[in-house]
Amino acid sequence: MRHPLVMGNWKLKGSTHMVSELIAGLRNALSRVDGCGVAIAPPVMYLDQARHALAGSCIALGAQNVDINLSGAFTGEISANMLRDVGAQYIIIGHSERRTYHKETDRAISEKFAVLKEAGLIPVLCIGETEAENEEGKTEEVCARQIDAVIKTLGAPAMKGAVIAYEPVWAIGTGKSATPAQAQAVHKFIRDHIAKHDTAIAAEVIIQYGGSVNDKNATELFAQPDIDGALVGGASLKADAFAAIVKAASAAKKS
Ligand code: PGA
């Protein structure tokens, strides 16, 4: 039976002070969570601090990116083994901001997926269409292409234990979330697409929604049968709002 996962993507936000304040607030608000995974992905700079601050809590540690190389002359990069070493478990890859600003290709993202699996870490694979693609009716085509980049190189079993985050680019940071029905239709398409390769893996894979999720719209989104929690940007920086989203996911308890 799959559980929802609510993960905070802090992006390029934070300071040592903010990390200790926000984690203290989250621990206070989320002393116990049932039936829902919770994780936060602070900037890599603060992972070790966050690991210590999270010790003994029900909140797992995540990160926002990884390099495809494990070691060597790759200035500025962070390896999967380093992320594992500092206790990160859930690693976001393929976020639209990286696809856009860092020109990450489907191929590079599938290599990141492979390196994470190899290191025993959980890839959180972000996929989703731009506004223009949405208007041209290409949502399903884009999502299928982004998933197939992984399945064609690594095989469908690579999806076992991984997380997919469907994040329509037009909904990220805009305050304009997809409607629950819109999101559900795409999530169902994604699950059915994976089921063409392996029905058991498709039934178990966590498919998060991301894009302007907040404490007001979370309950309705999580009531949809194929929406398994959320990848949360802006609202993950406020302890109360993030905790309310986690509680909404926990209350939704789907089978
Ligand atoms: P948002 O960001 O919640 O601020 O829209 C989501 C994300 O980029 O993962």
Q: Is the pTM of this model over 0.95?
A: yes
Helix (H) or strand (E) holding 230: strand 229-232
Q: From ligand 1's centre to the CA of 72, what distance in Å?
A: 32
- What confidence tens digit (pLDDT) does each residue in 195-207 have? 999 999 999 999 9
List the domains of the chain with CATH numbers: 5-254 (3.20.20.70)
Token pair, residue 244, equals: 């309310």
Task: For residue 77, give every residue at least 6 positions away whose Cβ sits within 8 Å of its Cβ, in sequence order, or none.
Answer: 67, 69
- What confidence tens digit (pLDDT) does each residue in 211-244 have? 999 999 999 999 999 999 999 999 999 999 999 9
Out of 231, 237, 238, give the residue to mutate to test ligand 1, the one with the largest number of ligand atoms within 8 Å of its CB: 231
Task: Find out whether the beta carbon of 173 lies less than 6 Å from any atom of ligand 1.
Answer: yes
Give the number of C-alpha atoms closer than 13 A to the C-alpha of residue 26, restricted to the C-beta side.
Answer: 30
Spatial distance between the Cα atoms of 209 and 172, rounded to a whole number of angstroms: 11
Q: From ligand 1's centre to the CA of 71, what distance in Å?
A: 30
- What confidence tens digit (pLDDT) does each residue in 103-121 have? 999 999 999 999 999 999 9
Task: For residue 34, give every residue at least 6 positions away whose Cβ sits within 8 Å of its Cβ, in sequence order, or none.
Answer: 250
97, 111, 167, 187: the catalytic one is 167
Task: For residue 138, give every residue at least 6 positions away whose Cβ sits within 8 Å of its Cβ, in sequence order, or none.
Answer: 129
For the CA of 165, the closest atom of ligand 1 is: 9
- What confidence tens digit (pLDDT) does each residue in 124-159 have? 999 999 999 999 999 999 999 999 999 999 999 999
Which among 96, 91, 90 has a CA at the least distance from the CA of 174? Answer: 96
